[in-house]
Structure 1
Amino acid sequence: MTIAVTGATGQLGRLVIESLKRKSTGEPIVALVRSPEKASDLGLEARAFDYAQPETLAPALIGIDTLLLISSSEVGQREPQHRNVIEAATKAGIKRIVYTSLLHADRSPISLGEEHRATEALLASSGIPTTLLRNGWYTENYTGSIPAALENGALVGSAGEGRLSLATRADYAQAAAIVLTSDGHEGKTYELAGDDAVTLADLAAEISRQTGRDIPYRDLPQADYAAILKQVGLPDGFAEGLAAWDVDASKGALFDDGHQLSKLIGRPTTSLADAVQAQLAARG
């Protein structure tokens, strides 16, 4: 059974490839990427695959049995791009699709949920056996703010006291690799999230503990947080989105206590302390 991974040179895609290699199950792995030359370090067959260019899709899926469809990074273009992939997969005779969706996509208030719900509907109508990996927020979405927090003396956001069930990209990647290489997952939906729900105040406290500095969490109105994100160079739409998603998180949108992720990977999800330590080590 040949497995193909879309977005294989992206942050999640690379980790899925690494996890698949470690499993050493013998299945051939194909990297589907916009620019195959950028995938040379993966050590795999790489094929040109651009969600926005339908003509590249079906030829790249020839001989593929199982497809991991990592959701497009282009918010606002996901539904048509995913439709292109699903239609190509149907033509190519793909036997199974595994899709990275959003935690509780069917009822999430987060604006990203709309495109994920549309994609899930497309998959359901395609007739292709599907597994939905409804991924929660990456811990890195927040630990990536550590350098700015240290520079400015505070961690800022708009998540209030919302409890965030965070897990690292590596946790989610391992889950994807397990589903891709084992049986019994067809037709299933997994709500994947971290074992321990934390607040941004907890994150600030952990940063303070590990650095020996006093780094408080400062909760801001949505508009003020969006303005700060724009000031540091984020595009307006993305900045507005991040601030809005934080407000959604303050109301519980990123909380889940089902522990399906740790059950699937057979170990506890990565702790906040370990994730902070890794970010600080990468910072040097």
Structure 2
Amino acid sequence: MYSFIFELFWMIFILSMFIPFFKAYSQKSARETLIRQLEVKRKSRVITLIHRQESMSFFGLTFGRYITIEDSEEILRAIKLTPPDMPIDLILHTPGGLVLAAEQIARALVKHKGKVTVFVPHYAMSGGTMIALAADEIVMDPNAVLGPLDPQLGGYPAPSILSVLEKKNINEIDDQTLILADIAKKAMNQVMDFVTCLLKEKVGEEKAKQLAETLCSGKWTHDYPLTVDALKQMGIPVSENMPQEVYQLMDLYKQTEQRRPSVQYIPVPYRGGERGTSQESRKNS
């Protein structure tokens, strides 16, 4: 009896180790199938850059993700494998990340001769916004947002570091802050120049400089949401024709499972008449 229980325990333990791998493989296959369907429909190369909190192994450890050099390496390779005249569709969902990596991706997209479309189903902040601005067309969900592009140094916005020089006598500022301010000024100039280059073909050089100043000068906090309406008012062309396949693909990148989900709903689309029917049923009961 004890031997059977012991063997059963080890079988369950071994299965618990392999189930996450089987589940990950199944999800990967489902993602690739849907990506291929979207490619056939749009006659394009579909690339995803999706960062969410993910779970690793049976311990359930989680970690946040952001744009890294590894991401830029993979995307540059995908672009290189794409014929020059083939359109590229990039599905973007990210809080941002390394400026170097984001710039590399943006430059590669600009150089691609085929049409580049960036789809933003939820948000693309910071470096994600920089990548979106490199596209020939930005397609966003009506409730999706982009974000400001002010560089961050040591956890502080570059414009805020520079403001210290305006508010204090230079003799009262320590050397480390002065060095940081010098780097902050260079970083801001570099990002503004790059954003101007990204936008000048779309809106003209003078308008591009104005937009770069607005996005990079620290007018807002770094997590300020730039909505579709706000982007249109700024003069950045944005479309809202999001393919349904993009939403379906996002469903395959679910947040890590927890003991009690933070958000819960019945995951089916409702028709307008169903609400009235349910209300009528409650009245009759």
TM-score (norm 1): 0.30
TM-score (norm 2): 0.30
Task: Name which one, 1 or 2, has greater alpha-carbon Rg.
Answer: 2
**Going by fraction, where is helix more abundant, 1 or 2?**
2
